[in-house]
Chains A and B, each alone.
Chain A
């Protein structure tokens, strides 16, 4: 036992010396993750994008329509950056990328509305820019609905209905929305919270297979195995332990920034999230090592597999496009990505504060990823002894 500890320590020391001698390790393992953390947190600092550029085509141009346009300009998501006289020039501005939406009031709208001839106003959103379009759509739809109500309101008050009774007539059923766990609909809470750990996990996947492969590349794999006393597990353990510590610290640092400095919701307490963060780190290391074992000696394929898998995990984790909306085979496939499970745990625990046992499957999955390489240890040992580096 003592022997194993000593060997682990010696290998770890050798590994640390390797880190310090190569700037690329520093750049990839510390500088880049921190840089991307700053990038995402500052990019989404506003939470929900507001004041998105839109244009108005007011062909009617009466005091009524000008009133409507003024209300639109005062709404949260909309910034009216241009007024156009005809729709074609507005559409061209959209094609040039200057605006995300057009609100159009055709000629004669006011007259038709006042004489009960049901005019039609339209709004066009550029859904190639999905988030901006969705946000602007919300405002414009609400405004269109309100404009109609304003007419009914006039009719009702002309009939002598008093002010207080009008609202229940206009809108008898009110929908009150409760976005659970994230009442301000802060995109940053959903995205930053997962993109940053996601980037960390991608870096872990790639660097794990890199630091393993570099032994073969330098032809020092046998030396490493000797240091480990011929035990492949000790060799891997000693080699990856410094990284485990480094990445866990990085993960905890990011989580401390999220939950203590930026005050993102964390219903389960930060200690719990730190535990899941740690599990996500070792799960990614496990998966990276697994890929390395599959392609043992062939570092380039192991690293390619890790990168392709890691990049894919941003889509299949399901925090932008939900997994439940994907095709069935992809819903199964999503389970093979550690980020997906970290995401489920984060959502259930930090966002909603549900007890951890509801997510037992994800906890088991993360554990499974961490232990997966154990199954292939004999193959790795064989690789240590018999495989050479293939460029």
Chain B
């Protein structure tokens, strides 16, 4: 029974300490609550629509005008200007009035009439890879559509409407964008960002509170209170505090943020808890291990904040996991976010069951176990040190 009371004592003492510290509260309350809203707001437009481009139409025929009209009508591209020559168009590009140039050669009509291929140039600004993708998609769709018309009208001479349809596209095809039907950024980036926010703010909160205790206790992480004698009760008491707080945060992100910003939600609650519990535990215990290196409270900001961006890449979400060199894949195994982000995406956006994400869930349980033992070792050492200095009777 005493060990149970000890856990509670540690929990209560930590709660008291943390609630007095506004610096920690910023990271474990404000950031998990507010940052996701901001991120979701950034990506809420999903993708680039109506990219402004400029046309250099050197042919000026009714056919090229039809081409330009059709391009303008695509959701991807907007004709924002016409230029007489490439030099003028490039000037518009430099002034950032447009993000791309479509060049139609003067031989457009003549070549088509002679049965020759014509080449339409698409010059896209690489300010963002998305500009390139969007512009090429819009223009290619129009070109393919017109190609089919030209092919059918000039060469194939179908008899009936149905024959014309078949002649236009002898094999029809469709592209289905699974799990992110708008093909947008928010359904793709927000889930891993949410998981990373959980992990990073946990590291920061735990690290800061460790730094705080050290500063107040002349370098010791074990405060001179009763209840801190046994290592398991220290580790469990401390982790309980973060665990329940962060479970609330995780539910908040999964419900409020996802609902607010229309992210795909295919997850059952048992799946959610099935991976969130090991994820949070692994993050908390790893946070304990890292915080052994934190001697001043501000140090953890220095050490943890800039890890966020590389960790996002190591999850294999934004940069395809299969293209990441092996050595980095191994380093990524250290961090719970690598498995947590993928589990959350698969379960939340793709409706995977616990069986489908078994690999990730097991990996996180292993992490939780290993980091728990490590954290215990660190605290055993710290308790001995504290006893050695006879602060703890």
Q: Let me know if A304 and B349 touch, CB within 8 A.
A: no
Q: Let me know if B136 and A318 touch, CB within 8 A.
A: no
Chain B residues, CB < 8 A from A171:
117, 147
Q: Let me know if B147 and A173 touch, CB within 8 A.
A: yes
- Minimal Cβ-Cβ distance residue in B for A147: B171
Q: Let me know if A319 and B128 touch, CB within 8 A.
A: yes
Chain B residues, CB < 8 A from A180:
93, 123-126
Chain B residues, CB < 8 A from A94:
178, 350
- Interface residue SS majority, chain A: helix
Q: Let me know if B298 and A127 touch, CB within 8 A.
A: no
Interface presence of A275 (CB below 8 A): no
A-contact bits for B345-375, CB 8 A (1 contact / 0 none): 1100111110011010000000000000000
Contact of B175 among A51, A97, A137, A170 (CB under 8 A): A137
Q: Let me know if B49 and A325 touch, CB within 8 A.
A: yes
Give Cα A124 to B176, complex, Å.
5
Chain B residues, CB < 8 A from A210:
298, 301-302
Give Cα A122 to B174, complex, Å.
5
Interface presence of A327 (CB below 8 A): yes
- Minimal Cβ-Cβ distance residue in A for B172: A120
Interface presence of A134 (CB below 8 A): yes
- Minimal Cβ-Cβ distance residue in A for B39: A315
Q: Let me know if A322 and B48 touch, CB within 8 A.
A: yes
Contact of B116 among A96, A161, A168, A206 (CB under 8 A): A168
Give Cα A45 to B327, complex, Å.
13
Which residues between 307 and 365 of chain B lie within 8 Å of chain A, taking CB atoms?
308-310, 313, 317-320, 322-325, 327-328, 342, 345-346, 349-353, 356-357, 359
Contact of A300 among B23, B35, B51, B154 (CB under 8 A): B23
Q: Let me know if B124 and A178 touch, CB within 8 A.
A: yes
Q: Let me know if A125 and B298 touch, CB within 8 A.
A: no
Chain B residues, CB < 8 A from A92:
356
Q: Let me know if A43 and B130 touch, CB within 8 A.
A: no
Interface presence of A338 (CB below 8 A): no
Interface residues on A, range: 35 or more
Q: Let me know if B155 and A169 touch, CB within 8 A.
A: yes
Closest Cβ–Cβ distance, residue A318 to chain B (whole Å):
7
Which residues between 77 and 124 of chain A lie within 8 Å of chain B, taking CB atoms?
92, 94-97, 100, 109, 113, 116-124
Chain A residues, CB < 8 A from B93:
180
25 intermolecular pairs with C-beta atoms under 8 Å apart: A24-B303, A32-B306, A39-B313, A42-B325, A49-B322, A97-B346, A117-B166, A122-B174, A125-B176, A140-B175, A141-B175, A144-B173, A168-B117, A169-B115, A170-B151, A174-B119, A175-B120, A206-B306, A207-B302, A217-B296, A311-B308, A318-B128, A320-B128, A322-B130, A347-B127
Q: Which residues of A contact B (CB under 8 A)?
A: 24, 27-28, 32, 36, 39-40, 42-46, 49-53, 92, 94-97, 100, 109, 113, 116-135, 137, 140-141, 144-145, 147-148, 151-152, 155-156, 161, 165, 167-182, 185, 187, 190-191, 195, 198-199, 202-203, 206-207, 210, 213-214, 217, 299-301, 303-304, 307-308, 310-312, 314-316, 318-322, 324-327, 330, 347-348, 351-352, 354, 358, 391
4 new A-B contacts, CB < 8 A, other than A130-B180, A190-B126, A301-B26, are A116-B163, A169-B155, A315-B42, A325-B45
